[in-house]
Structure 1
């Protein structure tokens, strides 16, 4: 299986001899810093193979894991060597060892991804020598659990599948118009009242069609701790997102004083709504308190505050918003949004966190080269030096931010939105957005053209976004995400040119692993009959 690895290793060459046969006598050993990876390997591969994989000493173990920062490897990099005598994984750090162990698992037959061993299976690691390291530091996926909630078991399963593909950032979208999904002890009504809605829009028809069925759910703080710990064992950082100052209907429903017009229902339709947060000191204190609870739950150095799709209609008519504009010497409502974002940005910086926001956080001081950008953290309107811009409306926001000296994560809709249609066939379920087949995910380039080498250094990496307006079950999540996530994983891990004709045969072999892992992916030829949604209309 060494010729079907995904993502493609940086360097790989076949070894001599038949490789290593795993038997009930196979012993495993971990050096200092690699014990956690060994526990993961035994827990996953042991039941799949039916082998005990008992611990042994360094001298007599056939599978050996170790951390060696002096081995000449890059951060998160590893070296894997398999011959008839054994298999050795050396990582620059524990993450590198983990990714080497993931590659080792891929070298086994696809049944190594099952929960129990099929009868008569043989387990052979082919002789091979691999040296590998990632191209980007940020290899992420955003999962929206606000539109349709996913419980912790499904989120942890999603983490497992990310880790299988050497992805390392799970961006959790925890609040939106249609639901608030995380417990905040200081403000219990956020989940008591804001975590469920009366019904949900079905598809994207106009006028809208509804299912008449309440939908809800949220993560308790203990759920969050479990998810974060599960992810950390797999070297995945969980980044929370609380979306402000737009997309806040659920929060305003729970605490009407947060909004400009009082109590509103939790959203049941998809789209953008005029209701936004007020810009009072009380609202800012509310969200500072929310942030303070969440940074205790999420140790990630990054915290996402949204900032996207914020209409200005209510602020134009709001006496308090207009007074804020005058008091702060702001030019207009766009600068008011920038001011609001900066208040939370500064609070996060004071808590040792880096703000991440959608590219609208640039509005009010920088956009499409319309004015000279202030240096990070220096200008009256500028964000803190550590703030990160997530470019989703094409590449222009990412280019502008990188040129201003801010770090950037690329997630443009055309190549990164996994809720978008996968073909033009009428059999595709709820076709929305532009066409995004697996090939386009694979071939698109994360680093925008035109950046200087110094500016390109600000591109931390890229991520795909899984918005769930039309993804209401785990089965549908699998269909929309895979195998496009597999293609994305190679794009952000592997350096060098990409050729889809070379990639596709490896992907077809990889689909066998997804089958064994229980992933209900979209076949490359199109949906299976039960994966369609006849009569549910989408949109362009």
Structure 2
């Protein structure tokens, strides 16, 4: 091999032990199957060095996630330099990505190169809803692995909603005894009524919640991958599962009836939530709500304490129907109950080390203008932040919240709600309330700092601290469905979260298209094969096809993918043939696109005979 390359044979290499980065040493050693050496070696060694990478371009902000990766074919060494374990870990992911390319007789060919890199945004998040449809711990582990590969660092864990409560709170066992179960029970004392595809019989369902040990396992797994877990307990709306559970608790002998009482019989039910409920909102004036907050959040804080101390929690706060609050009685002599809830939550002394986040509508007055951060309480005086997760574009709140000092996570539903379909095909899974479709190119091209009419002027761009992809699971019941909806869109999302494209500044469409072509080729020739090996069921788009002059012509959304056809003879077994471009066909045919490993395929489409 030349000095421009390294022939990497894992059995011949070592990773030098590091007092500063022991966890990262173990992670890479396990990933590459390389031994850890305690004594220095001169060559065929990987080293982690504590130091600050120097960048010529000072436009991007300083980041402890930056790193420098040096692959030196002359000294036959690999070195990653960073100031933190997170920076080293990012360098490790780049090295692993490079090592997954060209192999020669079981060895890996690595080119000599120096890479200096750092993220555009410090918050690069994924939200997973496990309330609407539960997903087991093993699915969470796999998602965290994939997030780490693509340098995504925040896992927003949506643990509660109207239709389900998914975290065991030992001092309130009814939350999972009732709130995690769904079946046909009109009294809702055994389970909640079915929703989002759940079956009518409770025996059809296994345990649908995480006990504290499960949750701590998830925290440990995330922590090893430098991913922050941000739990969400949705309040004061979207609380039906919790409210039904507390009602059951109050009916038990020996339990204090008002300990966690969060509603009043005089509150009224003259409202409907977006999901059709009229019994899913707690009363912010009831002390029982804050006793509930103390117990639930206190339990979560304790679970995090010795693994990943909880510094940010999400309280939901979204889509509260106005009539619901207007009918509630309040001893606090206030009419703005949404603001009252936030103020009382933020001032709780036991949570003074935490920042809080919520969906943006919780921080907007009825006229859609934002509350000042100062009006929410003394949170800023204690060096804490308020994170606004902006998803509703019609509120025009992104710039307004950033200018007022909120830390904004820009996550428009029309681009980042991955429960929406990839295209307009009626066979595609997905909701359509925010947009008819979200294809991968739309995700790739979005600039989080670019405004729309009505947004106003962005005076404090530094307060848009990140972006987040949302995986709501109302129509997503299995791991395969989850992966189909997320990939490859999540890879395009990760590209935008990490890399600041020059065409975002210049608005040069030609440059964007050139970048897009390079990106989709990278997907096909590298990332798809990686996902195949990891058994990720990413979406494979069906082909386009036409017959002209008797010959079959096909194309694919992503270049270079194999297309197969079969003669469409109903009742007969299908025989599939690779499309070569020489086919002259007169029979009705069906087509499909194949995955790069040939083990999966897109949905099958019938060629429209009317256009022959």
Question: For the residues of structure 2 that align with 1:81 and 1:490, how far apart are their CA atoms?
Answer: 22
Question: For the residues of structure 1 that align with 2:601 and 2:523, how far apart are their CA atoms?
Answer: 23
2:173 aligned with 1:188: yes
Return the index of the structure with the highest Cα Rg. Answer: 2
**Kindly tell me: are residues 71 and 502 of structure 1, through their superposed partners in 2, closer, same or farther at Cα, counting changes over 3 Å?**
closer
CA contact (8 A) 1:171 1:240 kept: yes
Question: For the residues of structure 2 that align with 1:348 and 1:144, how far apart are their CA atoms?
Answer: 29
CA contact (8 A) 1:260 1:314 kept: no
* Larger CA deviation: 145-154 vs 349-358: 349-358
Deviation of 1:237 (Å): 0.2
Provide Cα deviations, 1:91-133, integer angstroms capped at 9, x if missing partner. 2211111111111111123599xxxxxx953322222221101
Question: For the residues of structure 2 that align with 1:310 and 1:270, how far apart are their CA atoms?
Answer: 9
Provide Cα deviations, 1:488-523, integer angstroms capped at 9, x if missing partner. 001010122353122111122211111111111002
Which aligned pairs between 1:284-303 and structure 2 lie closer than 5 A? 284-298=290-304, 299-303=309-313
In the alignment of these two chains, the number of paired residues is 482
Provide Cα deviations, 1:256-311, integer angstroms capped at 9, x if missing partner. 2333459xxxxxx9825222112301222211221111122232311000001122
**Kindly tell me: are residues 475 and 252 of structure 1, through their superposed partners in 2, closer, same or farther at Cα, counting changes over 3 Å?**
same
Question: For the residues of structure 1 that align with 2:297 and 2:86, how far apart are their CA atoms?
Answer: 28
Question: Counterpart in 1 of 2:565?
Answer: none
CA contact (8 A) 1:78 1:90 kept: yes
**Kindly tell me: are residues 355 and 511 of structure 1, through their superposed partners in 2, closer, same or farther at Cα, counting changes over 3 Å?**
same
Deviation of 1:142 (Å): 0.3
CA contact (8 A) 1:18 1:126 kept: yes
Question: Counterpart in 1 of 2:15?
Answer: 28
Deviation of 1:530 (Å): 7.9
Question: For the residues of structure 2 that align with 1:533 and 1:413, how far apart are their CA atoms?
Answer: 29
* Larger CA deviation: 174-183 vs 270-279: 270-279
Provide Cα deviations, 1:28-75, integer angstroms capped at 9, x if missing partner. 1143322211111122222xxxxx434353333524232424443642
Question: Counterpart in 1 of 2:30?
Answer: 43
Question: Counterpart in 2 of 1:322?
Answer: 329
Question: For the residues of structure 1 that align with 2:420 and 2:473, how far apart are their CA atoms?
Answer: 11
Deviation of 1:397 (Å): 2.4
Provide Cα deviations, 1:163-182, integer angstroms capped at 9, x if missing partner. 00000000000000111111
Deviation of 1:314 (Å): 3.6
Which aligned pairs between 1:89-104 and structure 2 lie closer than 5 A? 89-104=80-95
Question: Counterpart in 2 of 1:506?
Answer: 522
Question: For the residues of structure 1 that align with 2:109 and 2:427, how far apart are their CA atoms?
Answer: 41
CA contact (8 A) 1:438 1:487 kept: yes
**Kindly tell me: are residues 21 and 192 of structure 1, through their superposed partners in 2, closer, same or farther at Cα, counting changes over 3 Å?**
same
Question: For the residues of structure 2 that align with 1:506 and 1:60, how far apart are their CA atoms?
Answer: 35
* Larger CA deviation: 102-111 vs 149-158: 102-111
**Kindly tell me: are residues 218 and 200 of structure 1, through their superposed partners in 2, closer, same or farther at Cα, counting changes over 3 Å?**
same
Give SS of 1:323's match.
coil
Deviation of 1:409 (Å): 0.8
**Structure 1 residue aligned with 2:127, among 121, 135, 142?**
142
Question: For the residues of structure 1 that align with 2:350 and 2:422, how far apart are their CA atoms?
Answer: 40
Question: For the residues of structure 2 that align with 1:83 and 1:478, how far apart are their CA atoms?
Answer: 37
Question: Counterpart in 2 of 1:271?
Answer: 275
Deviation of 1:219 (Å): 0.8
Give SS of 1:447's match.
coil
Relative to the length of structure 1, the TM-score reads 0.82
Question: Counterpart in 1 of 2:314?
Answer: 304
Question: For the residues of structure 1 that align with 2:196 and 2:603, how far apart are their CA atoms?
Answer: 14
Question: Counterpart in 2 of 1:259?
Answer: 263
CA contact (8 A) 2:119 2:497 kept: yes
**Kindly tell me: are residues 272 and 99 of structure 1, through their superposed partners in 2, closer, same or farther at Cα, counting changes over 3 Å?**
farther
Question: Counterpart in 1 of 2:495?
Answer: 490
Question: Counterpart in 2 of 1:249?
Answer: 240
Deviation of 1:402 (Å): 1.0
Deviation of 1:158 (Å): 0.7
CA contact (8 A) 2:8 2:110 kept: yes
Relative to the length of structure 2, the TM-score reads 0.73
RMSD, matched Cα? 2.9
Give SS of 1:304's match.
strand
**Kindly tell me: are residues 356 and 23 of structure 1, through their superposed partners in 2, closer, same or farther at Cα, counting changes over 3 Å?**
closer
CA contact (8 A) 1:20 1:86 kept: no
Provide Cα deviations, 1:379-433, integer angstroms capped at 9, x if missing partner. 3x56833211111112722222112111111111011101011011233124534
Which aligned pairs between 1:102-113 and structure 2 lie closer than 5 A? 102-109=93-100
**Structure 1 residue aligned with 2:72, among 63, 78, 83?**
83
* Relative contact order, higher structure (CA 8 A, sep 6+): 1
